[in-house]
Amino acid sequence: MKKLFVLLALAGIASAASAADIVGNAKAAENKVSMCIGCHGIPGYKTTFPEVYQVPMLGGQSEKYLENALKAYQKGDRKHLTMRGIAASLSDQDIADLATYYAQQK
């Protein structure tokens, strides 16, 4: 049992270290933004699912904000069903790439 605990602890440390080492690549995100622009690329766009609201523009948002928002959708802390489904399909690298790409947009 003690060995299992040590292995699990080491695995947690290793995954935390690798997540911290991820660096966003805006060029790589160019092949990933197609799922975003259908809603977030239309100025003044409003969605009606699950309720009517203004869809925010992503360009110029901070990388940290975008990363945190996508991870919150993955965890279910943010409740928009469509965004939760999209975020669930993203790897940590995808999230970093998209955050870097949109943070560089003005």
**What pLDDT is stored for residue 9 in this prediction?**
47
pTM of the model: 0.78
Please provide the DSSP assignment of 23-79 as one string. ---HHHHTTTTHHHHHHHTSTT-EE-SSS-EEPPP-TT--HHHHHHHHHHHHHTSS-
Considering the domain boundaries, does residue 15 fall inside one?
no
Question: Residue 82's domain spans which residues?
Answer: 23-104
Considering the domain boundaries, does residue 27 fall inside one?
yes
Considering the domain boundaries, does residue 82 fall inside one?
yes
What are 6-55's pLDDT values in tens digits? Answer: 444 445 544 444 667 999 999 999 999 999 999 999 999 998 877 888 99
Considering the domain boundaries, does residue 11 fall inside one?
no
Percentage above 70 pLDDT, the chain? 82
Number of domains in the chain: 1
What CATH number should be reported for the domain holding residue 85? 1.10.760.10
Considering the domain boundaries, does residue 13 fall inside one?
no
Considering the domain boundaries, does residue 94 fall inside one?
yes
**What pLDDT is stored for residue 8 in this prediction?**
43
**What pLDDT is stored for residue 14 in this prediction?**
47
Helix (H) or strand (E) holding 85: helix 81-88
